Amino acid sequence: MYLRIDKLQIELPAAPYPDPAAAAAVQDLLGGRFGEMSTLMNYTYQSFNMRGRDAIRPFYELVASIAAEELGHIELVSATINSLLTGATGEGDPSSAPLKGAAGAPNRDQFLNRGNASLVAGAMNAPWQGDYVFNSGELVLDLLHNFFLESGARMGKARVYEMTDNPTARHMIGYLLVRGGVHQVAYAKALEEITGVSVTKMLPIPRIENSKFPDTKRFEEQGMHHKLYSFSPADYKNLAAIWHGPHPYGDGDVEVVSGTPEGGPQVDLPAQPSNFAPGYDPGELAEIAARLMRHM
Ligand code: MN
Ligand code: MN
C-alpha cells in the first residue's frame, strides 16, 4: 500500500514568467515514451508482478523503491509544467477573449482540457500508453530494459535542458538528471551482481557528465547522486545488498537512506479564473471551504 506525503521531493522555485514553450517541452519528460510516467509504471508493474520475490528480495526491493520515487517524479514534473503555465492566459470577461494567447500556444491541450496544467502525454501530445510498459517477468531482461529506459530518459532530460533556459524547468531537470543517474547505476549494479558483466563501464549514457548541466550541482553537493532512498518508513531493508561500494564515477561510496528525501513544500499556484481553475469565482469556493473547516 502507499503512504502519501503532501510535499514535493525538492523545493521548486516558482516560474519567474509564463513560458508555454518550456511547458510543452517539459511535457515530454512527463508522458513521453521515456518520461516519468514510463519509469513509474514500468517499475510499479514489475514490482507488482515479480514472482518468487522473497527469494530474490534485494532485486524486488530495488525495483519497488525506485517505483515509489518515480511517483514523486511525476508529481514534480507536473508541478513544474503548472508553474510554467501560470499567467500564460489573460484575465477578464469572456467577451475580451482572455484565452486568445493560448490559441497559439505550442500545446493548446494544456489550456483546453486542463486549466493551464499538465497532461498525461508527450511534447507533441501523443497520450502516454500502457504499451510503454515492458515486463517480461524474466528478471535480467526486465533489469536490462530498465537500464535502457533510464538511459533514454537521461537523453530526454539532456535535450529538454538544451531546449529551454527557464530557471524553474532547469532546476527540476537538474534534480531529475541526478536521480535518473542513480537509477541508471542501480540497475547496472544489479545486472553486474547477476551476470558478472561490467555494465557500469557503459556509463554515462549519453556520454556527457552531469557537471555539464550546472543545475545538477546543488543536488550533487547534497550527495544526492550517491543516495538510494527506501521511500518507506520501515520496509525495504535489503537495498544495501546491491547499493553499496564505490560509485563508478570514483567520487565516493554510495549510500542507502531509509525513508524519503527531506523534500520541499507543496506548491500552491494561483487561480486562473478566466480558464475556470478552480472556478470562475474562486473567492466563492474559498468561502465555502472556510465555512466547512469551521466545523472541524
Ligand atoms: Mn524519474
Ligand atoms: Mn528513474
Q: How close is the Cα of 154 to the center of ligand 1, in Å?
A: 9
Task: Give whole-number Cα distances, 106 to 25, 46, 81, 269, in Å.
Answer: 9, 35, 13, 21
Q: What's the gap in Å between 73 CA and the centre of ligand 2?
A: 8
List the chain pLDDT tens, one digit each, 296 residues.
999 999 999 999 999 999 999 999 999 999 999 999 999 999 999 999 999 999 999 999 999 999 999 999 999 999 999 999 999 999 999 999 999 999 999 999 999 999 999 999 999 999 999 999 999 999 999 999 999 999 999 999 999 999 999 999 999 999 999 999 999 999 999 999 999 999 999 999 999 999 999 999 999 999 999 999 999 999 999 999 999 999 999 999 999 999 999 999 999 999 999 999 999 999 999 999 999 999 89
Place of cell 508529481: 75
Residues with CB in 5 Å of ion ligand 1: 36, 39, 70, 73
Whether the predicted model's global pTM rises above the 0.95 cut: yes
Which of 245, 56, 27, 250 lies closest to 126 in space, CA to CA? 27
Ligand 2 centroid to Cα of residue 95, in Å, is 46
Tell how far the Cα of 187 is from the centroid of ligand 2, in angstroms: 10
Instruction: Compute, in angstroms, the gap from residue 46 CA to the centroid of ligand 2.
Output: 14
Query: Which one of the ligands is nearest to 66 CA?
Result: 2
**Domain architecture of the chain: domains with CATH:** 7-265 (1.20.1260.10)
Interval between CA 17 and ligand 2 midpoint (Å): 28
Which H helix or E strand runs over 228? Answer: strand 227-229
**Ligand 2 center to 40 CA (angstroms):** 8
Residues linked to residue 60 through DSSP beta bridges, in sequence order: none
